[in-house]
A and B are shown apart, each in its own frame.
Chain A
Amino acid sequence: KAGVTQTPRYLIKTRGQQVTLSCSPISGHRSVSWYQQTPGQGLQFLFEYFSETQRNKGNFPGRFSGRQFSNSRSEMNVSTLELGDSALYLCASSLDPTGLEAFFGQGTRLTVV
């Protein structure tokens, strides 16, 4: 059974640009959540999607957005990139929002220069 797949693994962008990251959950999992990991702030929740609907959102500015497709794949978008957006972005999948377990992808390392 394939795990959670995130693409791309590494990305370098310039300040002011926008970026789109992709996450394919485990087959059969319908809930996808996104996290930002930085050395200073640790792992912070961005948002969760289930059945193409955003169910929960963390405390991040509106420049961070996401969506989920009918096949449960999810994308997150960051517009007007800032240097502080440099981080490891992780997504996790679970069966549904009530699922007890979440499984993480390897992450996308975003560097903003």
Chain B
Amino acid sequence: TQLLEQSPQFLSIQEGENLTVYCNSSSVFSSLQWYRQEPGEGPVLLVTVVTGGEVKKLKRLTFQFGDARKDSSLHITAAQPGDTGLYLCFRASGTYKYIFGTGTRLKVLA
């Protein structure tokens, strides 16, 4: 099974702190998506990265795709309580697609 390993698994931080979540695979991605999911809801798409070395910014969120396309990171600057949720990476295309990462549960305390 081709897993997408995410780290850390859990993260509890104070409002205003920065954090980074990682998503790693043993195989190359053709594309990768990041989602945030709140309890009882479906995952909401944050970004899709396609090109090795690509960096995308979404307000305080910065997404990076590794040069070798085997890893990705999500960095949040000055976290806010509204950032609380389950962050998931997802391989939506290519070989071994339809695989979700193991998830990072983030809690931002006011």
Chain A residues in contact with chain B, CB under 8 A?
4, 6, 33, 35, 42-45, 48, 56, 58, 88, 90, 94, 98-107, 109
Contact = CB atoms under 8 A, between A and B. Distances in A.
Interface residues of B, number: 20
Interface of B is mostly: loop
A104 B48 contact: no
Nearest to A101: B48
Contacts of A56: 98
Interface of A is mostly: strand
Given A100-B31, A100-B93, A102-B33, A107 B42 contact: yes
Given A42-B102, A48-B98, A100-B50, A90 B31 contact: no
20 contacts: A6-B42, A33-B98, A42-B102, A43-B43, A43-B103, A44-B100, A48-B98, A56-B98, A90-B42, A99-B92, A101-B45, A101-B48, A101-B92, A102-B33, A102-B90, A105-B42, A106-B41, A106-B42, A107-B41, A107-B42
